[in-house]
Chain A
Amino acid sequence: MDVAVFIVSAIIVIGGAIGVVVNPNPVRAALSLVASFFGVAVLFVLQEAHFLALVQVVVYAGAIVVLFLFVIMLLGVDKVEDIQTEPLVNQRPAAFVGGAFMLLLILGGLFLSGSDDGQGAVAITGQPEMTQALDAPGIKVGSATSTDPSNFQEPDSNIVSLARDLFTRNLFAFEITALLLTIATVGAVVLVRNDGAEDLVVDEPGTANR
């Protein structure tokens, strides 16, 4: 069952990713991106990261892709991009060769570290007790404490342990993200402000008498 879910969602993830890269139309690329994000959300559920699956759908597939589509529609740039011509000579082959080398490096590191025996994480990241080097011991991954869907009283312990980690060991980082989001909002407002837009020199041919 797990294998079937993994294979189907992996196909959706990879297919969506390839769709983003090869689709000349930006709108279709954005919709392929939604498919890919949904596949990733299914993979999160498969690994019992329920809260992250929810956030993946709401933030990524919801907010971020809607933002992309909004910008595409606002600017009217939903034209088909000419992806046949190569602006730089041999850029594509170089990109493919570089990507293939990177994939080989990652997979080589993965398999040479002996990850096939189920101890891959330990082999790659070193000691399994690495979190004990921090001042607080690592918080265990929770899973659903009750398989009965009608039982709403038991909280999902995945969310509980995530919240405990977020608000104890990472509280400062969490507060800093609030500052980061504020800066991003202010930056967006400053960047797209349109003061004196009438004075802009429109340098597109054929738009002078519009």
Chain B
Amino acid sequence: MEVTQTWYLVLSAVLFTIGTIGLLTRRNPLVMFMCIELMLNAVNISFVSFSKALNDIAGQTAVFFVLVVAAAEVVVGLSIVVALLRRRPTATADDLVQLKG
């Protein structure tokens, strides 16, 4: 038996789904960010597997850019969460409405 590309794509689909379900069910904004990271990682797995299957490095370049954007997104998102949780330590995602003007 041999690891084909389909295995990676199925794993990627499952990981993406777990991230989606977590994002929809959890209410802690920090954990919701972690679920977004899981979804980005699922996409990265399929990018790399396509890169290998097509023998083209462009897929790995895309993963590189996903990493950079994920880092920027986490920085901005966590500072929003800090701004929120500093006011109310028990805040959930619903309380983001407090940040309005």
Contacts and interface: CB of A to CB of B under 8 A. Distances in A.
A68 B70 CA distance: 13
Interface of B: 1-11, 13-22, 24-28, 30-31, 33-35, 37-38, 41, 44-45, 48-58, 60-61, 63-65, 67-76, 78-83, 85-90, 92, 94
A-B CB proximity, top 3 nearest: A121-B53, A95-B24, A21-B22
Contacts of A165: 57-58, 60-61
24 contacts: A10-B7, A10-B11, A20-B38, A29-B30, A40-B41, A40-B45, A43-B11, A52-B63, A59-B71, A60-B41, A60-B67, A63-B71, A67-B75, A71-B30, A77-B28, A83-B25, A87-B94, A120-B9, A128-B54, A141-B51, A162-B60, A177-B65, A177-B68, A188-B76
Interface in A159-179: 161-162, 164-166, 169-170, 173, 177
B60 A29 contact: no
B96 to A, nearest CB: 13
A180 interface: yes
Given A95-B21, A177-B68, A191-B82, A141 B55 contact: yes
A10 B3 CA distance: 12
Contacts of B21: 21, 95-96, 98-99
Contact of A107 (B7, B13, B31): B13
A91 B81 CA distance: 23
A74 B83 CA distance: 12
Interface in A79-102: 79, 81, 83, 87, 91-92, 94-96, 98-100, 102
A8 interface: no
Given A59-B71, A110-B6, A162-B64, A49 B51 contact: yes
Assign chain A's interface to a size class. Answer: 35 or more
B44 A40 contact: yes
A60 B37 contact: yes
A203 B87 CA distance: 8
Interface string A45-86: 011110110011001100110011001101111010101000
A47 B44 contact: no
Given A64-B70, A68-B34, 10 more contacts: A6-B3, A47-B52, A49-B63, A68-B74, A95-B20, A99-B21, A102-B20, A118-B5, A125-B54, A177-B68
